[in-house]
Chains A and B, each alone.
Chain A
Amino acid sequence: MIAQQLLNGLIVGGVYALFALGFTLVFGIQKILNLAHGAIFTVGAFVSWYVVSLGLPLLLGILASIVVCGLLSMLVEFVCFSRLRKTGDEEFGAIISSIGAGLVIMTVVQRLSNTRVLRFPFETFPVRIYEFAGLRITLLQLFMVGCAALLVLALYILIYRTSFGRRIRAVTDNERASTLVAINPNATYRQVYFISGALAGVAGVLVGLAFSSIHFAMGEPYLLFAFVIVILGGLGSILGATIAALLFGMMQTLTIAFLPSGLTNTIIFLALFLILMVRPNGLFGKEAAGALRGRR
């Protein structure tokens, strides 16, 4: 029973990782908390739902969510942050303007969906259950794990093993020096926002598939989870956020399974406070947190 819950927790944790990584990526490079990230996630779920409801395949829906959410995230950067950054006082202002952007996006989605709660048609994903070593896993869960693992791995390779990732890390480390090696930081920021939004979009689709409850405010709790995960993992740390997301997923499913309902969030935040008292920089302390953000 515990093993089964841990497995379920790992699966949702993978989805949380996708969502939280996009959030921490932007924070890592610009020190900006993009509070519209939850609304972008919501749009991801709706776009795929729409594509599927037109009778098109799910994979096409996911692709559409990636493109739409990536572009939407770039738009948020353009409208909310790009001008603000030039004032050099963006950290607070960005919180307000991205809350605003999130509200606008949510309202548009609410209008377009008439505040309905939607679900993917039953036949979108074949229902198949596998058993091994006493554990049950559905085909959908396998798909979620596969998507999450693939995207997280791709993100790692992109950031740490390609020249594109090297440029992102250079801008993160020292924006001014990066301009001297012919890097346009503004272009780099746009690319990072695209990746961030695309990851949120995929997470939205997976959550929509798993919990069959697509509605305009579905992103809100996830934004809160992302905060916990990102702080737990060490702000700006990619590795930290990945591991923290998996831990968070497992913690969540365990508390849901074994504790009275309604206590889940309380327990999770208590655990967060305890961890932060012992490790104020998050589980992955300074080392991991400095991996993307340069320590100057």
Chain B
Amino acid sequence: MLLEVRDLAVNYSGIQAVRGVSLDIAEGEMVALIGANGAGKSSLINALSGVVRAASGTVTFEGAEIQRMSPWSISARGLIQVPEGRLVFSALSVEENLLLGATAAKGRKAQFGLAEVYDLFPILKERRNQLAGSLSGGQQQMLAIGRGLMSGPRLLLLDEPSLGLAPVIVSQVFRALMELRAQGLTTLLVEQNANLALSVSDRAYMMEQGRIVHQGPSRQMAEDPDIIALYMGQTA
């Protein structure tokens, strides 16, 4: 297993955001993590990245326990997060943002260089000397993904890449994700849009109130009446 999470818990002064989550991700898989607002998806991802400290449990990445490591040493190992809400370096140019991604690649050979990212998102090439903060929301999302790819990810954690994007842009971003999957990149995709996430992933976990309540192959999950019921409102 590339990533093994066991009984992971995350607390914020009083709030138990993640309560004993266990999950596995094998090399080459695209795994979806779905759940409603506040289910604890971002907290789980942030604990994997070391951005928040896990209260208990273990995270094993490529055989090493990483739950006590700093976010910079975790990203240096190739566990790369593309954070929710984009978090690009707004006062730096588009190209500088991408090059900063490459600093996390360290010794690993990155499949993605500037040329490959620009192929994937041609608009970024057009805007490469523009400040990242002046990009549109969708373009910033592409930039955040591009930056993650430049980091030579062994495992890419994508936190709601479709958030706040127009449908056209969402399909553009997801087309890119399909391409990455075909290239064998291992991905954990966090999404509220369950249909979308289940349609591109191999397996999926569903979270509710800090716990994993469903898991299985994505196709099977997509037909599960419970899950359909949960997402009745948003079958776009």
Contact = CB atoms under 8 A, between A and B. Distances in A.
Interface of A: 163, 166-167, 169-170, 172-174, 176-185, 290-296
Contacts of A170: 89, 92, 100
Contacts of B17: none
Interface in B68-100: 70-73, 75-76, 80-81, 83, 87-92, 96, 99-100
Contacts of B76: 182
Chain A interface SS verdict (over half): helix
Contact of B75 (A167, A180, A295, A296): A180
Contacts of A180: 49, 51, 71, 75, 80-81, 83, 87, 104
A178 B76 CA distance: 12
24 contacts: A166-B96, A166-B99, A169-B89, A169-B92, A174-B89, A177-B87, A179-B50, A179-B70, A180-B49, A180-B51, A180-B71, A180-B81, A181-B100, A181-B104, A182-B73, A182-B106, A182-B151, A183-B100, A183-B103, A290-B91, A292-B91, A293-B91, A294-B91, A295-B90
A19 to B, nearest CB: 25
B75 to A, nearest CB: 4
A295 B133 contact: yes
Interface of B: 49-51, 70-73, 75-76, 80-81, 83, 87-92, 96, 99-101, 103-104, 106, 133, 147, 151
Contacts, number: 83
Given A180-B81, A184-B70, 12 more contacts: A173-B91, A174-B89, A177-B87, A179-B51, A180-B49, A180-B75, A180-B104, A181-B100, A181-B104, A181-B147, A182-B76, A291-B91
A173 B70 contact: no
Nearest to B97: A170
Contacts of A163: 99, 103
Contact of B88 (A177, A179, A293, A295): A177
A294 B49 CA distance: 24
Given A177-B83, A294-B133, A182 B89 contact: no
Nearest to B89: A173
A292 B91 CA distance: 7
- Tell me which of A183, A185, A292 has the highest count of chain B C-beta atoms within 10 A of its own C-beta: A183
A238 to B, nearest CB: 13
- Tell me which of A170, A174, A179, A182 has the highest count of chain B C-beta atoms within 10 A of its own C-beta: A182
Contacts of B87: 174, 176-177, 180
A167 B101 CA distance: 10
Nearest to B101: A181
Contacts of A294: 89-92, 133
